[in-house]
């Protein structure tokens, strides 16, 4: 999330939740059923966020090196 421009956060949330509901309903069900983020679901979410951000079309922050 550090990569996303602050003004794009609400767009990210809506788009990512839609993406999860459409493409990864089993992951959401696992989280809902257990009531917690296991290490496995956390790692899966992190991977999904990274790939989603690359394809989302949302504005990203420019990082200085």
Supply the range of the domain harboring residue 19.
Answer: 6-55
More confident residue, 64 or 25: 25
Does the residue 61 lie in any domain?
Answer: no
Contact 58, 3 (CB under 8 A): no
Task: Quote the number of domains for the chain.
Answer: 1
Does the residue 18 lie in any domain?
Answer: yes
pLDDT score of 63:
63
CATH assignment at residue 33: 1.20.150.20
pLDDT score of 61:
86
Dist CA 23 CA 26 (whole Å): 9
Does the residue 28 lie in any domain?
Answer: yes
pLDDT score of 1:
73
- pLDDT band at residue 57, thresholds of 50, 70 and 90? confident
Does the residue 36 lie in any domain?
Answer: yes
Dist CA 29 CA 21 (whole Å): 10
C-alpha triplet 42, 48, 51: angle, nearest 5°:
145
């Amino acid at each position: 999330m550090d990569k996303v421009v602050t003004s794009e956060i609400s767009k990210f949330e809506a788009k990512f939740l839609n993406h999860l509901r459409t493409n990864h309903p089993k992951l959401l069900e696992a989280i809902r059923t257990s009531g917690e983020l296991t290490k496995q679901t956390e790692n899966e979410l992190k991977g999904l966020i990274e790939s989603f951000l690359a394809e989302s079309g949302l504005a990203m922050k420019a990082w200085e090196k």
